[in-house]
Amino acid sequence: MFSRWPLTVRGTGATLLAVTCVVLAQRFALAELLYLAVLLVLLVAGSVATLYLARRTERLTRAFHPPALPAGAEVTVSLRAEIRSPLPAAQGQWSDTLPAGVHGDASGVFPQTMSGMRVKGRDAALSYTATAARRGIRDIGPLTVVATDPFGLARRRHTIGRALPLTITPALVDLGPLADQSGDLGGGMHAATDKLGQGSDNLIPRHYVPGDSMRRIHWRASAHRDELMVRQEEQETTPEAVVVLDRTGAHWPAAPHALPAPTTDSRRRSRRACRPRRSSCARGTPSA
C-alpha cells in the first residue's frame, strides 16, 4: 500500500506542513502561514504533475550472456533503458522481475534522466547476475522503475519493456568409468548383437531391396518364390549371467554358528556304532 502512495517522505512531510500552516493561520490570523501553505501545496502538486501528466517515451533492450545455460550456472542480464521525457527526473530505484527457479539480486539505483527535448539523450545501462536453479524456459522481466521528480517530493512506479524467455538446460554431470561386466552394470549391458553380413550360418531369406549387393542373392529361395531374395543373417544373442555370492556374515543366520562343534570322543563313538552294522551287512543273512 505504501508503494502506491505517490509522495515520498519529503513530499508527505511537505503536505502535512501545509495542513498545519492552514490550521495555525486560521487560529492566529496570520496571512503569512496561509501563503506558505499555498506555496507548499502548489509545489507538491507540480511535482506530481511532472511525473504523471508529462508524456514519456520508454524503451528497453534486454540481453542474456550466455543466451542458454545449464542449471546451476550464472547468467549476466544486460539492460539498456531509453527514457525520453520533456522534464528531467532524479535518481530512482529499479528492480527486475525474476521467476521461480532463478535467484539473484535484480535491483539497484536508476540514474537520473535529462530532458528529452535535446537531440541526443543518455541511456541507462543496467546489469546484474542471477543463478539458474531449475531447468526450463523462464520469463525474465519486466523491469520496474520507481522515478522521482527533481525536488524529491513525488514518485511514480511503472514497468518498462516486456518479459524475455531464458532457456535453462539440464545440468551436465560427469559419469565415472563403466565396468565391462553386465552384472556390474545391473543388467544394463546389451545381450543382443547384430551381426549382419559377417559370415553367420543362421541365414534367412528376405525380399530384394534396391541397393542390396548382388553377391547376397539367395538363388535357391529366389527360384522357389519366383522373385529375387537376399540372404540376411539372424540377430544373434549372447546372454551372459554373473553370479554374485554374498559371503558377509550379516546376511547369514546366526543359528548354525551357535551350535557346538563335535568333539573327538563323539566322533569315535559314532565310528564304533557304525562298524557292527557294516559287518552284518557284509556277511548277509541266509535266505529262508
For the chain, which residues make up each domain, given as ranges? 2-52, 57-169, 193-237
Least confident range from 97-111, 133-147, 177-191, 245-259: namely 177-191
Per cent of the chain over pLDDT 70 is 69
Find where cell 531509453 sits.
82
Phi-psi map region of 211: left, alpha, beta (phi>0 left; psi -120 to 50 alpha): left
Which pLDDT does position 258 carry in this prediction?
Answer: 57
Which pLDDT does position 232 carry in this prediction?
Answer: 78
Mean pLDDT, rounded, for 186-215: 62
Length of the chain counted residue by residue: 288
Q: pLDDT at residue 185 above 50?
A: no
Give the integer Cα–Cα distance in Å for 220 and 261.
Answer: 73
Which pLDDT does position 142 carry in this prediction?
Answer: 92
Give the integer Cα–Cα distance in Å for 257 and 1.
Answer: 77
pLDDT tier at 95 (50, 70, 90 boundaries)? Answer: very high
CB-CB contact of 60 with 81 (8 Å): yes
Chain centre to alpha carbon of residue 202: 50
pTM, two decimal places: 0.53
Q: What is the pLDDT of residues 224-248, one digit of tens each?
A: 888 888 887 655 566 777 777 777 7
70 prior amide bond cis, ω within 30: no
CB-CB contact of 113 with 122 (8 Å): yes
CB-CB contact of 45 with 18 (8 Å): no
Retrieve residue 175's grid coordinates: 559419469
The verdict on domain 57-169 having CATH code 3.30.1370.100 is no
Which pLDDT does position 235 carry in this prediction?
Answer: 59
Q: What is the pLDDT of residues 263-280, one digit of tens each?
A: 556 556 655 555 544 444
| CA-to-CA separations, 218 to 73, 212, 226, 228, 232, in angstroms, rounded | 59, 12, 12, 8, 9
